Amino acid sequence: MKVIIKPIVTEKMTELGEKLNRYGFVVDKRANKLQIKDAVEDLYDVTVTDVNTMVYGGKTKSRYTKSGVIVGRTNSYKKAIVTLAEGENIDFYSNI
């Protein structure tokens, strides 16, 4: 099971990273906090002090087209907010 799917790189998460040393990741729904902690520590070589998780349910969306109304649903996902030890950070932009 691949635990970490992708990092969340938004203005809000960048600000949290700078001020509170917290970073966000989209993770596998079946992963628990211990697996997320181990995956982040292995991937980025940092010390994780805290992991908070939340599951977002998919929303129903509809749009109007020439052939009528198309109704669909967005994917649900699990998000993890990882707090690192003081003095450590993750640089998502180094591989660009």
CATH number of residue 56's parent domain: 3.30.70.330
Q: Is residue 90 part of a domain?
A: no
Q: Is residue 19 part of a domain?
A: yes
Q: Cα–chain-centroid distance for residue 42?
A: 16
Q: For the residues 2-18, what does the mean pLDDT come to?
A: 94
Q: Is residue 52 part of a domain?
A: yes
pLDDT of residue 95: 67
| Cβ 93 vs Cβ 73: under 8 Å | no
Q: Is the pLDDT of residue 74 over 80?
A: yes
Reading the block at residue 32, the tokens are 């628990």
Place of tokens 């990882």: 82
Residue 94: pLDDT band (50, 70, 90) is: confident
Cα–Cα distance between 33 and 85 in angstroms, integer? Answer: 16
Domain ranges, residue 22? 4-84
- Domain count of the chain? 1
Tens of pLDDT, residue by residue over 14-69, are 999 999 999 999 999 999 999 999 999 999 999 999 999 999 999 999 999 999 99
Q: How far is CA 57 from CA 6, 14, 53, 79, in A?
A: 18, 24, 13, 11
